Structure 1
């Protein structure tokens, strides 16, 4: 349990640093700590990155549109969004995190993928990409 807690803390620290571009460059609020990770809010979009421990640990990132009424809609996984947008293959956004090193590496990979995708997500194209993922 102690090792998982230490890894969860390291994960949050790494995710906070790697995803800081959301706050600094894209107008998101400072991250909110959740049970399994961090949640970044903006007008119209939320990004949540999780570390899921257990038998097959993984890192995953969810991108969720937030309509003007503030009701959070269902999100789409970053790897799906990355592929649908034509940014690259799903392998660029792996989830498996069997070791501490792999977990922190996944944070870097997810941040890099989101950084590449973010200019498209912040336009009207972003909502179209999310809608396409929901249809698949």
Structure 2
């Protein structure tokens, strides 16, 4: 795993590192099955780049911690459009209710559970729609 540097230094994993490890594993279908590049470390979590799409998986810490996944269209020139949130895309596509894509993560355990739930929802969305349909939906949901 990419994020085990703290253990090598004699420390246990902090929440952000544990989140990144869990997200890398849960969203590995993007790389293994859908041809996305391996996860890139970002300020908020991980970024997966694919052909015409990118997926951001965030851990938003603070007073009300949250796990959030966004999908954006990437143009042929590499320009990344506005991010559409997974829960909005999931509902708009008819995949199911917002309850299938919870974000609230007040505990370490709930954070790991949200990562898994959002990965499952993204997989369902991406198998429900073709790539062009998903890109059109993202454009509709972001108004761009």
Partner Cα distance (2:86, 2:138) in 1: 10
Task: Kindly name which structure, 1 or 2, has the bigger radius of gyration based on alpha carbons.
Answer: 2
1:51 to 2:56 alignment: no
Higher normalized helix content (fraction of residues): 1
Map 1:20-99 onto structure 2 (within 5 A). 20-99=28-107
Give the alignment's TM-score, normalised by structure 2: 0.87
Aligned-residue Cα RMSD (Å) equals 1.2
Alignment gaps of 5+ in structure 2: 1-12
| SS of the residue 1:64 aligns to | strand
Q: Displaced runs of 4+ in structure 1, greater than 4 A? A: none
What is the total number of aligned residue pairs between the two structures? 131
Q: Which residue of 1 aligns with 2:112?
A: 104
Contiguous gaps of at least 5 residues in structure 1: none
Residues 122, 32 of structure 1: alpha-carbon distance in 2 compared, 3 angstrom cutoff: farther
* TM-score, normalised relative to structure 1: 0.92
